[in-house]
Structure 1
Amino acid sequence: MEIYYPPVGFSFMVEFQGLSTENTDISFQSVSGLTVDLETEEIAEGGENRFKHKIPVRSKFPNLVLKRGMLLNSEVIKWCKKALENFEIEPVDITVKLLGEDGKPLQTWNIVRAYPIKWSVGDFNAEESKLVIETIELTYQYFNIV
């Protein structure tokens, strides 16, 4: 009998379709927001006072949040700046790949029509010795698992 070990969450890559494929532009410290919720609508039935019916309405996807050490001359950041500073919104598809020990994808998430809605840089503090972290927040239509 073979023992199953769940995959580790520290080996992954993020690819922006149509943007840079440089190794530095696909490396991130963290990815969050790969979540889907089913919205429901409550309907009261006449004569039934014990409960309300919950009817499924649509899926809801939160924003995707990417964090990494600040990268200079990044194509992804140029894309973000065009959207945030010039309102030139160009949605792109993104793939997030969870990698196995051999560096091959174990699972892939396709994020559809994402564009940036927030970009921030971590605090500067002369009393601490830590990396400058940039955070990119993206909205998107939906994702699917390949």
Structure 2
Amino acid sequence: MVDYYPPWGFYFRVEFGISKDKNDVRFQMVSGLSVEYDTEEYKEGGENRFTHKLPVRTKYADLVLKRGMLTDSEVIKWFLRAFRDRDFEPTDLNVILMNEKGEPLKTWQVSHAIPRKWQVSDLNSGENALVIETLELTYRYFTVA
């Protein structure tokens, strides 16, 4: 029997439904793959030791992606259409964690994502650093496959 070791978190790709460009799958960081319940408190008459907390609806965090800035990107064109023209075209995307052979281990299928924020890192002539762009998306939900 082989002992199980958790996978490394550095080998992944992000596939957007709006882009087939191989550069648009490369990111240095993904965060926001989390879900939680909003709860509603219910106070029962005669029971003073506690209140019941009942689940109401699920809440998904915004998805944040970071990468070295690309000068030509379908994903950035999609972001700019949303901010410049107010053309919010939802897309699905997959965050795929891979093993050492480049095979998918786990896939988070994100549904109905739209741009929320685009940020470019500071430009500083006193530093020798990459320009990092941060893409923030809001979405309806994700499933795990």
TM-score, scaled to structure 2: 0.97
Partners in 1 of 2:46 and 2:83 — Cα distance? 52
Q: Which residue of 2 aligns with 1:127?
A: 126
Map of 1:11 onto structure 2: 11
Map of 1:74 onto structure 2: 73
3-state DSSP of counterpart to 2:108: strand
Aligned to 2:141: 142
What count of residue pairs does the alignment treat as equivalent? 145
CA distance in 2, matches of 1:58, 1:50: 25
Instruction: Tell me what 2:90 maps to.
Output: 91
Aligned-CA RMSD value = 0.8
1:39 Cα shift?
1.3
Aligned AA for 1:21? K
* Aligned residue number for residue 113 of structure 1: 112
Tell me the percent identity.
56
Q: Distance in 1 between matches of 2:86 and 2:70?
A: 22
Residue identity matched to 1:86: D
C-alpha distance in structure 1 between counterparts of 2:27 and 2:83, whole Å: 21
Instruction: State the shift of 1:3 in Å.
Output: 2.0
* Separation (CA, whole Å) in 2 of partners of 1:35 and 1:84: 26
Q: Please give the per-residue CA displacement for 1:43-97, whole angstroms capped at 9, x wherever unaligned.
A: 1111211111001111110100000000011000000000111110000000010
TM-score under structure 1 length normalisation: 0.97
Paired residue secondary structure (1:5): coil
Unaligned runs of 5+ in 1: none
Measure, in 1, the Cα distance between the counterparts of 2:27 and 2:85: 25
2:99 aligned partner: 100
Deviation, 1:13, is: 0.4
Give the distance between the partners of 1:3 and 1:141, measured in 2 at CA. Answer: 37
Structure 2 residue ranges without an equivalent (≥5) = none
Matched residues in 2 for 1:99 and 1:23: separation?
A: 16
